[in-house]
């Protein structure tokens, strides 16, 4: 049970980091679509390497 709580806490921290990154992207004028395209392009690049 303790490990499950630790894992949930790590997931919550990750979510907070993503929220902050998305806020920063929005402040820069990026749309959610811009962010999706960027992440998809990085995924494709990583898969090709």
Q: What is the pLDDT of residue 1?
A: 66
Average pLDDT per block of 10 residues along the chain, 49 residues long: 73 82 95 92 72
Q: Is the pTM here over 0.85, yes or no?
A: no
> What is the C-alpha separation between 28 and 2, in angstroms, rounded?
40
Q: What is the pLDDT of residue 29?
A: 97
Q: Which three-class secondary structure string do you get for the chain? A: CHHHHHHHHHHHHHHHHHHHHHHHHHHCCCCHHHHHHHHHHHHHHHHHC
């Amino acid at each position: 049970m303790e490990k499950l709580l630790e894992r949930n806490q790590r997931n919550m921290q990750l979510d907070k980091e993503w929220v902050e990154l998305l806020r920063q992207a929005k402040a820069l004028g990026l749309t959610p679509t811009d962010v999706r395209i960027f992440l998809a392009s990085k995924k494709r690049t990583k898969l090709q390497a």
